[in-house]
């Protein structure tokens, strides 16, 4: 694909697919986009009561489903359903991921494979699926990859996880260049925030992170969602970037 940008602007996304939208940051992103008037599709392996409630409150603007992001065929089926119900997808947030809590020497081969499959291979497949359809329809769109500060700073117990997030940061840059301005492709890299994923961190680790953070508190999902919304909705020329939201903990 040509690397030459043409001069048309990429319009704000109006139908956004959020992977892992059932809880944590994904659910916060879904809620925020709905508040902004966007039509939103969200999936996770389990549809939570919170996500069901949003779907019931906004029957014309929300489509949810139980899909494992590593099951490409199921993802294809879900994308087709979304397009029928909400219209063509022109925004994607790759948010679904699994964490890790094991030193590399103690991490089972299957666990490394599962982390890579979920956090790196599956989002690459989902992105390809969505952008093929966008390009096929002549649509311009926006992609936002939720990565992590772990891709830029070292944290014990998160070796395979960090590798997947670094991989997505690298893919973000190359895809932005490959798409030649037809789509804006960016990543948001939050610092640690409270969620099911980070529940493995003990009070000592959390205290240490807070002490190292100039803004004096852990990142909150509410501090991350405006950045995701901006990348999906605002008229900017931000492309191929990784935006860190961590209160300067990593500086």
Sign of torsion, CA 234 224 44 184?
Answer: positive
Residue 237 CB, nearest approach to ligand NAP (Å): 25
Tell whether residue 92 is a contact of ligand NAP (CB under 6 A): no
Please report whether residue 162 would count as binding ligand NAP according to CB under 6 A.
no
Range in contact with ligand NAP (rule: CB under 6 A) among 30-38, 67-75, 172-180, 228-236 = 67-75
SS3 152: coil
Is residue 19 part of the annotated active site? The answer reads: no
Q: Is 134 in the site for ligand NAP (CB under 6 A)?
A: no
Q: x-or-dash pattern for ligand NAP, window 17-56, by CB under 6 A? A: --xx-xxxxx-----------------xxx----------
Other beta carbons less than 10 A from residue 95's beta carbon = 26
Which window, 84-92, 152-160, 187-195, 228-236, contacts ligand NAP (CB under 6 A)? 187-195
Closest CA to 97 of 176, 183, 160, 14: 160
Give the SS3 label for residue 187.
strand
| β-strand partners of 42 | 18, 64
Alpha-carbon distance 187 to 172, whole Å? 7
- The Cα 29–Cα 140 span in angstroms is 21
Nearest residue (beta carbon) to ligand NAP: 24
Rounded to whole angstroms, the Cα distance separating 216 from 247 reads: 8
Please compute, for residue 215, the number of CA atoms within 13 A of its CA located in the half-sphere on the CB side.
13
Rank residues 68 and 83 by Cβ distance to ligand NAP and give the closer one.
68
Among 13, 15, 62, 70, binds ligand NAP (CB under 6 A): 70
Q: Please choose, out of 31-39, 126-134, 176-184, 195-203, the segment that lies near ligand NAP by the rule CB under 6 A.
A: 195-203
- Residues interacting with ligand NAP, by CB under 6 A? 19-20, 22-26, 44-46, 68-70, 95-98, 118, 146, 148, 190, 192-193, 195-198
- The catalytic site residues sit at 161
């Amino acid at each position: 694909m040509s690397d030459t940008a043409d001069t048309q602007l990429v319009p704000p996304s109006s139908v956004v697919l959020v992977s892992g939208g059932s809880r944590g940051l994904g659910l916060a992103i879904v809620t925020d986009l709905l508040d902004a008037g966007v039509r939103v599709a969200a999936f996770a392996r389990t549809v939570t009561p919170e996500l069901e409630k949003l779907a019931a409150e906004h029957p014309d603007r929300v489509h949810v489903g139980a899909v494992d992001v590593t099951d490409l065929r199921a993802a294809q089926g879900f994308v087709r359903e979304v397009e029928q119900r909400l219209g063509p997808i022109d925004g994607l947030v790759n948010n679904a991921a699994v964490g890790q809590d094991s030193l590399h020497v103690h991490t089972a081969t299957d666990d490394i494979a599962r982390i890579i499959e979920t956090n790196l291979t599956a989002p690459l497949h989902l992105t390809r699926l969505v952008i093929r359809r966008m390009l096929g329809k002549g649509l311009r769109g926006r992609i936002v990859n939720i990565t992590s500060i772990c891709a830029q700073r070292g944290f014990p117990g998160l070796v395979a996880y960090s590798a997947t997030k670094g991989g997505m940061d690298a893919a973000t840059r190359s895809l932005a260049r490959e798409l030649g301005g037809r789509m804006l492709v960016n990543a948001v890299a939050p610092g640690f925030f409270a969620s099911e994923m980070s529940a493995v961190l003990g009070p000592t680790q959390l205290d240490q992170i807070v002490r190292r953070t100039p803004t004096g508190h852990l990142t909150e999902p509410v501090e991350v969602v405006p950045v995701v919304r901006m990348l999906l909705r605002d008229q900017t020329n931000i492309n191929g970037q990784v935006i860190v939201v961590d209160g300067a903990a990593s500086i």
